[in-house]
């Protein structure tokens, strides 16, 4: 299997008999066998079930079945372990759910099955998706395929590492403040956060309900577009799902971007940005100019308040969402002499330190006497940040920023300093507060050590097609091919 081939090219080879779904899957399984013990990207693998899926696909191809409505036919895909998959573990990387088996499919998981994808395994994450490094997982840390002494990012670090290491050709992640785009940058792959409401959240374990969104991680922009086309759409099971018309996200790829206005927010190009990241971004800007894009300076003046606003809102919503894990209905349970002791012992031992920190913060900002001072004020500032973006998008088609301020840091480097860890998401969280779409694509490498650097593009809500059009044009004009890190 040639990992440089797109989904479409691989599928053509399968249909022509040059490749089989089984051989494609076996190539991934061989890499998992060789490297997952050191990377810990996948925390559950059902190779027998995955091979059975591949066998059924090969049989359907041999019978000549009509498979034109299977855009992910035979493509091995991993699922982040906070997204439901029928009869598979869904632990959310927490002791609280270490023995939980999902009784149903999330809407996105069912969509992948119906599109012909081979579901190959469950990807590691920060516990309940609360983290930026995949170091808070009950199943142990995940490592970056480019340097095993470094983090892969988070919270979708397992998904990004699995794609980067070719354990699968695509993966699903969830993005609450950058949890798809940030690990995509650190691991050298493509990570797409769709607009809020574009993709159903039914079956996603809620962290912060007004911020969470499911999206794909892949090796190529075209593949991300194909995965989005499969998982996007209105779902009556999700009250936040928007009745937006379905789009063919692949059809706009390859179109000229001449005259497209791309904004550079001055607040994202500040002191503290790693010089090598800045150089790579500057070269990327020049590449887009050479493609005919118009680069426009813009300002998002309330950016300085984004981190504080985000961590008030997300912890408040996390406190409410995680109240359901009480030891009564399902999951981890520690007995006590009365219900209060049962709750205290269950939640005290079932949740990790970072999750407990966020629950405590969220409960505090929602408490009597503090709600107006913190949560209500944060929502008002969120409105100001949204208005900044709306005014900027009156002048430009897209925005361009670094995805993260630096390349991947070493394991344990920021683990004891939550504030420094939170600051790694400084360039990504605004897209979640606003609800617009964003993508991270590879744009270069640092020199010593050689680590991937990511470029972030952000578009208006529900303008993923334009976002992907520019991302694809940049990808095709550069030499940042996904060379195997292992």
What is the pLDDT at residue 485? 86
What confidence category does residue 160 fall into, taking pLDDT thresholds of 50, 70 and 90? very high
CATH 3.90.1300.10 in the chain, residue ranges: 7-260+403-477
What's the whole-number mean pLDDT along residues 203-212? 97
Digit-coded pLDDT (tens) for 98-153? 999 999 999 999 999 999 999 999 999 999 999 999 999 999 999 999 999 999 99
481 has pLDDT over 70:
no
What is the pLDDT at residue 179? 98
Digit-coded pLDDT (tens) for 312-322? 999 999 999 99
What confidence category does residue 13 fall into, taking pLDDT thresholds of 50, 70 and 90? very high
95 is catalytic: no
What is the pLDDT at residue 228? 98
d(CA 407, CA 389): 26
What confidence category does residue 482 fall into, taking pLDDT thresholds of 50, 70 and 90? low
Share of the chain above pLDDT 90, in %: 91
Digit-coded pLDDT (tens) for 43-55? 999 999 999 999 9
483 has pLDDT over 90:
no
What is the pLDDT at residue 314? 97
What is the pLDDT at residue 187? 97
Residue among 155, 159, 174, 185 flagged as catalytic: 155
261 is catalytic: no
Residue among 20, 70, 80, 94 flagged as catalytic: 80
Digit-coded pLDDT (tens) for 55-97? 999 999 999 998 889 999 999 999 999 999 999 999 999 999 9
323 has pLDDT over 80:
yes
What is the pLDDT at residue 416? 81
179 is catalytic: yes
Digit-coded pLDDT (tens) for 359-405? 999 999 999 889 999 999 999 999 999 999 999 999 999 999 999 99
What's the whole-number mean pLDDT along residues 12-18? 92
459 has pLDDT over 60:
yes
- We find that the CATH architecture of domain 7-260+403-477 is Alpha-Beta Complex (3.90)
pTM for the whole structure: 0.96
301 has pLDDT over 90:
yes
Digit-coded pLDDT (tens) for 240-279? 999 987 789 999 999 999 999 999 999 999 888 999 999 9
3 has pLDDT over 70:
no
What is the pLDDT at residue 287? 98
Digit-coded pLDDT (tens) for 394-431? 999 999 999 999 999 999 999 888 888 888 899 999 99
188 has pLDDT over 70:
yes
């Amino acid at each position: 299997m040639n990992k440089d081939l797109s989904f479409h090219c691989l599928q053509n080879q399968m249909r022509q008999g040059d490749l089989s779904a089984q051989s494609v899957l076996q190539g991934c399984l061989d890499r998992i066998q060789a490297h997952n013990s050191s990377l810990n990207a996948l925390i559950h693998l059902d190779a027998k079930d995955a091979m059975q899926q591949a066998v059924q696909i090969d049989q359907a191809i041999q019978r000549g079945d009509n498979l034109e409505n299977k855009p992910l036919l035979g493509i091995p895909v991993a699922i982040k372990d906070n997204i439901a998959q029928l009869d598979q573990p869904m632990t959310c990387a927490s002791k609280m759910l270490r023995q939980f088996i999902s009784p149903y499919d999330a809407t996105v998981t069912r969509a992948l099955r119906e599109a012909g994808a081979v579901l190959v395994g469950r990807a590691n994450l920060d516990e309940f998706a609360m983290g930026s490094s995949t170091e808070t997982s009950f199943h142990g840390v995940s490592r970056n395929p480019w340097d095993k002494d470094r983090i892969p990012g988070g919270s979708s670090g397992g998904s990004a590492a699995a794609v980067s290491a070719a354990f699968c050709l695509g993966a699903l992640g969830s993005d609450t403040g950058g949890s798809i785009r940030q690990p995509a940058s650190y691991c050298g792959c493509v990570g797409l956060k769709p607009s809020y409401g574009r993709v159903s959240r039914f079956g996603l374990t809620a962290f912060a309900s007004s911020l969470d969104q499911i999206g794909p991680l892949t090796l190529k922009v075209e593949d991300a577009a194909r995965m989005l086309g499969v998982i996007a759409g209105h779902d009556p099971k999700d009250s936040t799902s928007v009745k937006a018309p379905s789009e063919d996200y692949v059809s706009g790829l390859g179109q000229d971007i001449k005259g497209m206005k791309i904004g550079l927010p001055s607040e994202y190009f500040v002191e503290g940005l790693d010089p090598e990241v800045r150089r790579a971004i500057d070269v990327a800007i020049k590449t887009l100019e050479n493609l005919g894009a118009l680069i426009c300076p813009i300002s998002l003046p309330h950016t300085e308040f984004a981190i504080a606003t985000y961590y008030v809102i997300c912890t408040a919503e996390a406190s409410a969402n995680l109240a359901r894990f009480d030891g009564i209905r399902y999951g981890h349970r520690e007995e006590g002499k009365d219900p209060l002791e049962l709750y205290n012992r269950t939640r005290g031992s079932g949740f990790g330190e970072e999750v407990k920190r966020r629950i405590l913060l969220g409960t505090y900002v929602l408490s009597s006497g503090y709600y107006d001072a913190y949560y209500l004020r944060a929502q008002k500032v969120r409105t100001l940040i949204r208005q900044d973006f709306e005014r900027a998008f009156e002048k430009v088609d897209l925005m361009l920023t670094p995805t993260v301020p630096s390349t991947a840091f070493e394991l344990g480097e920021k683990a004891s300093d939550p504030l420094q860890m939170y600051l790694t998401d400084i360039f990504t969280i605004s897209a979640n507060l606003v609800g617009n779409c964003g993508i991270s694509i590879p744009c270069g490498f640092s020199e010593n050590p050689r680590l991937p650097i990511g470029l972030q593009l952000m578009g208006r809500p529900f303008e993923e097609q334009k976002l992907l059009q520019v991302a694809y044009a940049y990808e095709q004009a550069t030499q940042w091919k996904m060379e195997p890190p292992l």
